[in-house]
């Protein structure tokens, strides 16, 4: 594995993680915009703290190299819920799908076991 591949994976991981961290910070901070967003999605504001804790926990697991595959699975599950919630109210979900792809791309670049399961033909 080359140093460029490792660094590409790290950069992608950090960028993808920043989306979740910013989302969690907004949920923890609260405010009228967050309350309006939750109401639009049909979610009670009482879910903001548990969702923020869940997001930060999944990101922490994802950013530890030894547990990155588990973190990717957890973040994918979180995104699945987000996709379902946004789709239900008629909002686009492409961003969530792309974010999930980036999460797995970062793991794929540095995890030989995953590359053996999903080989790329040359």
Note whether 52 and 43 are within 8 A (CB). Answer: no
Whether pLDDT at 119 is above 90: no
pLDDT for res 98: 97
The string of pLDDT tens digits covering residues 13-65 is 999 999 999 999 999 999 999 999 999 999 999 999 999 999 999 999 999 99
Taking only Cα atoms into account, the Rg of the chain, rounded to an integer number of angstroms, comes to 16
Tokens 């910013």 locate to 22
Whether pLDDT at 4 is above 90: yes
Minimal CA–CA distance to 12: which of 120, 114, 104?
A: 104
The string of pLDDT tens digits covering residues 62-115 is 999 999 999 999 999 999 999 999 999 999 999 999 999 999 999 999 998 888
Distance CA 85, CA 94 (A): 13
pLDDT for res 117: 87
């Amino acid at each position: 594995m080359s140093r460029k591949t490792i660094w590409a994976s790290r950069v992608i991981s950090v960028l993808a993680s920043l989306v979740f961290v910013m989302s969690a910070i907004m949920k923890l901070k609260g405010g009228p915009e967050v309350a309006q967003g939750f109401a639009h999605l049909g979610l009670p504001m009482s879910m903001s703290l548990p969702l923020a804790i869940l997001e930060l926990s999944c990101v922490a697991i994802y950013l530890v190299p030894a547990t990155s595959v588990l973190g990717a699975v957890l973040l994918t599950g979180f995104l699945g819920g987000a996709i379902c919630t946004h789709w239900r109210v008629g909002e686009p979900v492409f961003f969530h799908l792309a974010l999930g792809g980036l999460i797995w791309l970062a793991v794929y670049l540095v995890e030989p076991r995953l590359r053996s399961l999903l080989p790329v033909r040359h």
